[in-house]
Structure 1
Amino acid sequence: MIGPQHAHAALDGLVTGDAFGDSWFIRSDEPAEELWAAREPRPAPWPWTDDSAMAFVLFAHLTEHGEVRPGDLARRFAAEYRRDPGRQYGPSMHSVLRRVGEGEDWRAVTTGQFGGQGSYGNGAAMRVAPLGAWFMDDLAAAREQARLSALATHAHPEAVAGAVAVAVAAALAAGGAGGDVPPRASFLREVASYLPVSDVRSGLLVAAGFPERTSVRHAASVLGSGTLISAPDTVPFALWSAAGHLDDLPEALWQTVGGWGDRDTTCAIVGGVVASRTGTDGVPADWRQAREAIPAWSGWTPVTAAGTPVRHVTG
């Protein structure tokens, strides 16, 4: 096994980010900007969403097989959806997972979406950080395994590029644990170098060109922050945010929420990537108590990125 301890930490960070971000979908009459600026966490409980549900399936699949088998993975996603469909799955995924669960061929279902283009949503990217950390010592494998994991539900090249970008970022973050933090621009350009020509790649290169003191508001306005629920509109912003806070998971999540948009998904991506490097020991105790527990069937056990047990059991 190449990087299981980092993958465990990435899953913990992903779920933390997902639940933290989702807690910030608040009523329109609440002063969201003021609460965010004051760093006031939202009241418990913080349930996780489909971002985490799909990440659990992918992690359990890797734990069993050590590699991605897209057909089996698609059927596992469908089975989990059937067991617990109320986790805020995207509109197209309801159809995909229901049809696969009813026995239709997964390839035909996924490639037939959106007039034969396939979905280019952010669902393949949001769940994949633990896979990247798992293959931290082999970036080519991380790229290929991420591609295969995306195809289980998302056939569009942009969705695949988004998943590859997040997986490579997590692999790079995990591989750099204990070393100096790379400059944000260099990190983003290295991730982009593993991608084919795509809108996701272009967005990462735009993000890499931002001045160092660029605000989260400006980054979100230029890159998008998931409002369109697409990979190009989500992944560049999320990785820009992660790359600026690779040694500080709580601050990375605070900054990411400030982009608003699809905040559970952007925070899930950021949480998975940053925790691949830092582990989750820095997560405040009250966040852990607020966040919904990770189910045992996922294969997750509470360890840090250094491979040591955490002090607080999640949940």
Structure 2
Amino acid sequence: MNKFNIIIPVYNEGNNLKFLIPYILNLNLPNLEKIYIVDSNSTDNTCQIIKFFLKRYSNIVYIREETRNGKSRAINKALKCIKKGIVVIHSADCFTTRDSLLKLVNTIKNDVGASMLCAEPILEKNSVHEKLSYYSWIVSNETCDELSRMGILCHIGNDVFAFNREIIDEIKENVVNDDSYIALKITMKGFKIVFLNDAKVKIKATSNFHDYLKQRLRINYGHKINKKITNFYSTTLKNLFFIKPNMAFRILFKSLIKYFPESIFYIPLLIFVELISEFFLLLRLYSFDFVKWPIAYSTKEIFKLNEEIFKTYGHRRMEE
């Protein structure tokens, strides 16, 4: 069984960390060496929350940056402490199961350089805005699953993923989509990426259009930066239309049929919003520093919506 470390890059995630840290610790994951939490100069209660757990658990490593310089630099700081084995990058605003994490780690062997979980978006209000976000994750899952089965997946996402440390030295500091960049570097070195359709990670869907558009602007901008750096496209569905259009149309049609009748409304709406996003990027109609990630606040309530799963872990939870 592979030894592994978990990296959790955070900015103002204190309210999520007080749930996530004890949750991960209580999974009793074999061969987990350290949990590295890289705090990018948070201004909330993140520091206090982490220090609470530092006093109680020896396998937590706290790295605090004095300035917020972006997720890629934060991950690099933790990577300097990890020389070999498997690295799991875990966002603070999502969670998965013990079996899924172990499968994620143990899939990486031989010619498999990285693995990713299947996103399971959570809806709070079941609104049009949330459904739009939901279907963006669903279409991404369908695309990754199809390409992974064919052995040609060149993309990583979904907030929890793993890779072989010896393949990745560091991430370029101007990279916005760290996951996609890692995928490109891994496949450029001849290794495969595996999408685990039966191993889920729960992610909160955005609850308003503003947050969703911020996400799409950041992601699309990040893919353009990665293309400039590596000269290769990630195999997202949108990029697939430029690389393998017949395959892209087949995946799109399959998604429309599989999730009919709702898909007839939401998937065309997704395409329309992508066009809006590209228009904004083309005309520079944004005021974000994408390297520092504009925050989608409506995705940060996942643990409040799922507190029942933490009843089992109450003895390790931080007191309010």
TM bracket (short chain)? under 0.3
The structure richer in helix per residue is 1
Point out the structure with max Rg over C-alpha.
2
Taking CA–CA contacts closer than 8 Å with sequence separation of 6 or more, which of the two structures ends up with the larger relative contact order? 1
